[in-house]
Structure 1
Amino acid sequence: MVEHIVLIKFLEEPSETQIQELIQKTLALKVVIPGIMDIRQGSNFSSRNKGYQVGLTVRFEDRASLENYGPHPAHQEIVKFLKEIGLEDTLVVDFECN
């Protein structure tokens, strides 16, 4: 099993409508992209966030599923939307777990 963690930072604070749209689009990937076991996303409320406003965790069956996820057209639509609403930076951590 592989855990994929993404922190997202925007140039300016997106609207609540934009954040909710992002979350809904992202959660829908579970039924579109093979190998996703679980997916969660939400707005960060911690004061220790270093400017990262949204967090994402995706649990994949294996590394092959993670490798398929990045270039998948449905995932690329999310990346496009993130850029449209002002994506500044992402921080990604991937690790295998039992």
Structure 2
Amino acid sequence: MLTHIVFFKLKNREQDNIRHVRDTLLSMKGRIPELLELEVGADIVRSARSFDLALVSKFKNLDAMQAYQVHPVHQEIIAFMREQTESSAAVDYESEA
């Protein structure tokens, strides 16, 4: 199993926008076969070092994650997120099921 985590710091940090971006990310659920699990959460601490959103997704293996990366639905989300995001960070690691 491969876990893919991405943290997003948004340009617009108003709560309504954070919810909108979270919902947009969650719209991938059930639309990309390789995407086994998807969770998106908004930060509640809101400290200076916090990111606004965290995306946690799971894939069977690295090949499945790479197929997700080029899937048309994910490509639409990437375009949307480029407009919304000030910065991001990612971690990909092998995990237990």
Matches within 5 A, 1:3-14: 3-13=3-13
The answer to whether residue 83 in structure 2 is matched with residue 81 in structure 1 is no
Bigger Cα displacement from structure 2, 20-29 vs 66-75: 20-29
- Contact 1:3–1:97 (CA<8 Å) still a contact in 2? yes
Question: 1: distance between equivalents of 2:76 and 2:18?
Answer: 15
Letter in 2 for 1:30: K
Provide closer, same or farther for how the CA distance between residues 49 and 29 of structure 1 changes in structure 2, counting only shifts above 3 A: farther
Quote the sequence identity (%).
Answer: 27
Instruction: Calculate the aligned-residue CA RMSD, in Å.
Output: 1.9
TM-superposed CA distance for 1:51, in Å, is 4.0
Question: 1: distance between equivalents of 2:31 and 2:72?
Answer: 10
What are the superposed Cα offsets for residues 1-28 of structure 1, whole Å, 9 maximum, x if unpaired? 0000100012342x43332232222223
Gaps in structure 2 of 5+ consecutive residues: none
The answer to whether residue 90 in structure 2 is matched with residue 92 in structure 1 is yes
Question: 2: distance between equivalents of 1:19 and 1:78?
Answer: 15
Residue of structure 2 in register with 1:29 after alignment: 28
- Contact 2:18–2:52 (CA<8 Å) still a contact in 1? no
Question: 1: distance between equivalents of 2:12 and 2:23?
Answer: 20
Letter in 2 for 1:5: I
- Contact 2:9–2:86 (CA<8 Å) still a contact in 1? yes
Query: Runs (4+) of structure 1 moved beyond 3 Å?
Result: none
Q: What TM-score does the superposition give when structure 1 sets the normalisation length?
A: 0.82
Provide closer, same or farther for how the CA distance between residues 12 and 46 of structure 1 changes in structure 2, counting only shifts above 3 A: same
How many pairs are equivalent?
Answer: 96
TM-superposed CA distance for 1:58, in Å, is 0.3
